[in-house]
Structure 1
Amino acid sequence: MNIIDLRRDLHQHPEIGFTEFRTASKVVEALTSLNYHVIFGKDALDGDSRRGVPPAEVLQEAYNRALQDGANPEFLQEMEGGYTAVIGILEGKTDGPTVAFRFDMDALPVTESSDPDHFPHTNGFRSKYEGNMHACAHDGHTVIGLGLAEKLADRNFAGTVKLIFQPAEEGVRGAYSIVKKGMLDDIDHLFCLHLGTDVPLGEFHGGSSGFLASTKMAAHFHGVASHAGASPEKGKNALLGAATALLNIHAIPRFSSGSTRINVGVLTGGTAANIIPAHAKMIIETRSIAEETNEELEKRVRNIVAHSAAMHELDHEIEIIGQAITIRCDQELVDLAMEEARQVDGFSTIKACRESGSAGSEDASFMIRRVQDNGGKGTYMIIGTDIPAPHHHPKFDIQEEVLPRSVELLNLIARRILG
């Protein structure tokens, strides 16, 4: 398996959360060829627990595109409707613990650069799906997982390996549904990872801290349309209610219990200048370094939305479209990962937990927490690569030499635990 070529193929075909039909099909194909037991489609996640699933027409368009671009129709049938999680399981030659590795697969709604200094463009593997881009290294994560699958295919170990290929990490939407399906309940050790995050090539961190708890919400306001000139008093202005909520949400005070973030990122509503808007929608997020504080922020947002709607005699509802909690890495796994990284050529700087400086969130937090709640251990590792532009930027890219290095590291970690 040439993981550089595979990474470039995935980079050319970026798929956003719950539309990773082609990517997931390629993963199923590769794992099946390596004699893994593969769980995918509705068997791999709980459909009702998915957050922020795209509309049916978006899912269908992505499904049809995957078919046109070489996805296996047999596998795709099981994924229709956005069921794009894949779990690969391989049992060793004797009994032992279960070790799992998690890899996210989704891309972002970012238009990739076509500037002459952008490496994927000049080397012929810029995104073919205009408006979508792998701008956060998930193409790299996916091929690291498949490279690891190939390394472990000899089954020369004691225990079980579980490779979790997760959809919809962006917006912290996909992990929770895999947890709710019970896919983490038999795991003793869980390793998650990310490339980049402002860590240079050659540097490795065995764990991370500082990820924020977060809640993403969509608030819908429902009013009554009316002629804005002839009978404005007959209408109930949904957009005005949403605007009232927006201003008050951004007026929520800071907290002494820890840093917080609040943002209304989307506000839409109305159809014409002379019509009282009957519907409006807001996309809101809260974040905090403390889970309890984030829960309080969410409660205050809900109160503001409810009372803003009531002021304008509107109906409303709120749906959770994404969520994450904080991450606590187990020192035993941090130390183990650092020890194995010292055995891999190319890792010149080995560190313990990295304090996240991005004020970001990660839904692998739900997976790590479930494993820990069941008595297991987990960590979230950072593997450095120099990047020409920040994550989620049109010129984002990774240094591909980090990919085989990462595969070798995970192989050493797996075999260390599995004897």
Structure 2
Amino acid sequence: MGCDVSERGARSKTQLVADRRELHRLAEPGWCEVFTASKVVKVLQESGWQVRCGADVISRDARMGLPPQRTLDFFLNRALDHGADPVTAEKLRDGFTGVVGTLNGGAAGPVIAFRFDLDANNGGEATSRDHRPVREGFSSIHEGFHHNCGHDGHTSMGLGLARTLARIRHELAGEIRLIFQPAEEGLRGAKAMVAAGVLDGVDYFVGCHLGVQALSVGEVITGYKDILGSIKLDVNFTGKSAHAAISPHDGRNAVLAACVAAQNLMAIPRHGDGDTRVNVGRISGGDSRNTVPSSADLSIELRADNADTLQFLRDTAARVVAGAALMHEVTSRSDLVGESRAASSDPELAKIVHEAAREVPQVKAIRDCVEFRGSDDAAEMMRAVQGRGGKAVYFGIGTELSAIHHNPRFDFNEDALPIGLEILERLTCLLGAPGSGARPRN
């Protein structure tokens, strides 16, 4: 293998679980991950990594879907209350919560980038005692926000990888970059880091995810294909208020327009040239039961496995929104708040993941070339690397789930964490072995 990653067992798992549970308890949504990112900075610095963060790794103008300033301020203050370093927090505040650690090996070699997502989801966590985080005391203390997609586990593995690679840096060739990305949910963060140049010069890109299509501990998917491209839109309808009984004819009902739009967005036909998804995730509007509502909002997403089909969805959705507005004599506005292209893993790199996984004793089943069936803005980073001649892979780490992703009862089996970490470690050693001569570029 070329380097030693032999430290395993209870000590490794204990640290991974402790990190994961701390992050789960202090769940932070996209662009607000001040405590999480501050913890990452601290671990990287203590382990001897070169660290960049904040505006150095996030392009201000490429950010999408920033929360209101009051939300940004709330999570900044909570991070400080929970011990975040004030100097670091100042660099991360107001939606600059990205971190990149760099480690140079003992010889020349490729640039290898690993990406880990930081953010929790909007949505509350289950509160009953039969939910393990409640029972064992690490459920989210931030009401309305919950790590219900496993990103706390991803960050925990990223911190574990940072600690291991720092110990064996002189046994590696090339440069290692650990990319800790904010705002994956809603597909908002990757583009801003790509635009800041954090993927420049990367030869190999590696992303991973707990669960999804790998649903038992010891199962590994070596490379997902057909990660769906997606567009996230916030739609507003603006009409005219009026008394619902005395002068309803003077009103222009924005909620009805939103309802018509929602029904017809969900009725967009499937496309024969690709796999498609449409979802209306939120609808809100109105002021009182006896007033014609003058404003209504929709949060929608479109997904497809290729650019042409995704554009078809976008064009069709625009016509649906415009038609609903015309029908009810209101105006409409659509804002792009998240976006990522479709991508697939490179088979050559997936084979190296396979090689790393089969050396891990706890791995019991390995599957190659599986459809992801969802979206992840790691795809933007994959495409950035692939577009410059590099190779990219996005692989799956198996775990049982207490409930499906994005569910209030979501939790995962923490036995998956040391398995995922060992695969990442072994993959680094394979890609960064001195004298291997491995280069993906032509």
Instruction: Tell me the TM-score range normalised by the shorter chain.
Output: over 0.9
Q: 1:347 to 1:222 in 2, by over 3 A?
A: same
Aligned equivalent of 1:23, options 2, 25, 36 = 36
Aligned equivalent of 2:157, options 134, 138, 144 = 144
Partner of 2:344: 328
Partner of 1:366: 380
* Identical pairs, percent: 41
Partner of 2:316: 300
1 CA distance for matches of 2:175 and 2:234? Answer: 40
Partner of 2:205: 190
Q: 1:329 to 1:117 in 2, by over 3 A?
A: same
Deviations 1:357-405 (A, max 9, x none): xx32111111101100010000101011122222222332222222222
Greater CA drift, 198-207 or 401-410: 401-410
Aligned equivalent of 1:132, options 131, 145, 148 = 145
1 CA distance for matches of 2:125 and 2:263? Answer: 33
Partner of 2:187: 172
Partner of 2:9: none
Pairing of 1:348-387 with structure 2 (within 5 A): 348-356=364-372, 359-387=373-401
2 CA distance for matches of 1:62 and 1:112? Answer: 18
Matched, 1:79 2:96: no
* Matched residues, number: 417
Matched, 1:245 2:261: yes
Deviations 1:155-198 (A, max 9, x none): 21221001011111122222121112221122100010011224
**How far is the alpha carbon of 1:268 from its aligned partner?**
1.7
1 CA distance for matches of 2:280 and 2:409? Answer: 26
2 CA distance for matches of 1:38 and 1:129? Answer: 28
**How far is the alpha carbon of 1:233 from its aligned partner?**
4.2
Give the gaps of 5 or more residues in structure 2: 1-11, 434-442
1 CA distance for matches of 2:207 and 2:317? Answer: 31
SS at match of 2:374: coil
**How far is the alpha carbon of 1:230 from its aligned partner?**
4.0
SS at match of 1:153: helix
Give the gaps of 5 or more residues in structure 1: none
Aligned equivalent of 1:273, options 269, 272, 289 = 289
Partner of 2:440: none
Matched, 1:415 2:429: yes
Q: Alignment RMSD, CA only? A: 1.9
Matched, 1:57 2:73: no
AA aligned to 1:343 is E
SS at match of 1:161: strand
AA aligned to 2:86 is P
Greater CA drift, 378-387 or 88-97: 88-97
2 CA distance for matches of 1:133 and 1:418? Answer: 36
Matched, 1:113 2:126: yes
AA aligned to 1:300 is T
Aligned equivalent of 2:51, options 38, 50, 53 = 38
Aligned equivalent of 2:233, options 217, 220, 223 = 217
**How far is the alpha carbon of 1:219 from its aligned partner?**
1.0
**How far is the alpha carbon of 1:225 from its aligned partner?**
2.8
Matched, 1:102 2:115: yes
SS at match of 1:333: helix
AA aligned to 1:197 is V
2:218/2:419 contact within 8 Å kept: no
SS at match of 1:135: coil
SS at match of 1:308: helix
2:40/2:99 contact within 8 Å kept: yes
SS at match of 1:23: helix
Greater CA drift, 222-231 or 23-32: 222-231
Greater CA drift, 54-63 or 276-285: 276-285
1:223/1:236 contact within 8 Å kept: yes
2 CA distance for matches of 1:277 and 1:400? Answer: 48
2 CA distance for matches of 1:94 and 1:77? Answer: 36
Partner of 2:439: none
AA aligned to 1:59 is L
2 CA distance for matches of 1:284 and 1:129? Answer: 25
**How far is the alpha carbon of 1:311 from its aligned partner?**
4.0
Partner of 1:13: 26
Deviations 1:104-124 (A, max 9, x none): 111123333343333322222
2 CA distance for matches of 1:21 and 1:132? Answer: 14
1:198/1:386 contact within 8 Å kept: no
Q: 1:26 to 1:414 in 2, by over 3 A?
A: same
Q: 1:234 to 1:117 in 2, by over 3 A?
A: closer
**How far is the alpha carbon of 1:20 from its aligned partner?**
0.9
Greater CA drift, 395-404 or 52-61: 395-404
Partner of 1:153: 166
1:21/1:76 contact within 8 Å kept: yes
2 CA distance for matches of 1:389 and 1:38? Answer: 36
**How far is the alpha carbon of 1:284 from its aligned partner?**
1.4
AA aligned to 1:393 is N
